[in-house]
Structure 1
Amino acid sequence: MTDPRLILLNPEDNCLVAGARLMAGTRLDIEGETVTLAKTIDLGHKVARRALAKDEKVLRYGAVIGHVTADVVRGEHLHTHNLESDYLPTYTHDAGHAFVQH
């Protein structure tokens, strides 16, 4: 069983979403394991559903959203300090300069 303040968006996801602001020191059950949060996790932020190894892909909505840049333990906050996006830009601001008006 997982704490109801954590939302699983897709059964394949290896992250959960905080459905409330979770303060540092909060104890949460994640799939039968109790974890204590080291840091406050804001509403809508991601939490590791299980331990993740450095460079492992992070799945949200069943799709890859990035990879972890360091080993992560279950219940750890997933954000810019340990998660890097794998999205490739489809355009750049400079691309607009290729169009010339006469």
Structure 2
Amino acid sequence: MGAPHLLVHDHADNVGVVVVEGLTAGTTMLCVVTHDNSSFELVSRADVPIGHKIALKDISSGETAIKYGEDIGKFVADIEKGAHVHTHNLKTKRW
């Protein structure tokens, strides 16, 4: 196994975090689940900066975003598997 492109904390998460610089659309990413060190592949649908999130499945507007096993916000737009998750489609529930 090579170096991962995306880290996911738990199998229940629906977003993962990009851990490489310069991730481009069309990249087949190595995704590692840190809970059990399992891995899977996912194709990035967009250029995504390091530290930003990517959807692990198709998600509907109104669904809850789960990262590190925690509720981090609500999706405000439908999003496809492999798409960039950021402020344009996800809002925090903090304010």
Shorter chain as normaliser: what TM range?
A: 0.7 to 0.9
Equivalent position of 1:25 in the other structure = 26
Aligned: 1:51 with 2:52: no
RMSD between aligned alpha carbons? 2.1
Letter in 1 for 2:4: P
Letter in 2 for 1:26: T
Find 1:60's aligned residue among 64, 67, 73: 67
Q: Which runs of 4+ in 1 moved over 2 A?
A: 24-35
Structure 1: runs of 5+ lacking an equivalent: 89-102
Structure 2: runs of 5+ lacking an equivalent: 32-38
1:1-102 equivalences in 2 (<5 Å): 4-21=4-21, 22-28=23-29, 34-35=42-43, 37-88=44-95
2:7 & 2:24 partners in 1: Cα distance?
16
Matched length: 85
For normalisation by structure 2, the TM-score amounts to 0.75
User: How many Å apart are 1:34 and its aligned residue?
Assistant: 5.0
User: How many Å apart are 1:9 and its aligned residue?
Assistant: 1.5
Higher relative contact order (CA 8 A, sep 6+): 2
Bigger Rg, which one: 1
User: How many Å apart are 1:33 and its aligned residue?
Assistant: 6.5
Q: 1:51/1:43 Cα in 2 relative to 1: closer, same or farther (>3 Å)? A: same
Equivalent position of 1:91 in the other structure = none
Contact 2:28–2:41 (Cα < 8 Å) also in 1: no
For normalisation by structure 1, the TM-score amounts to 0.71
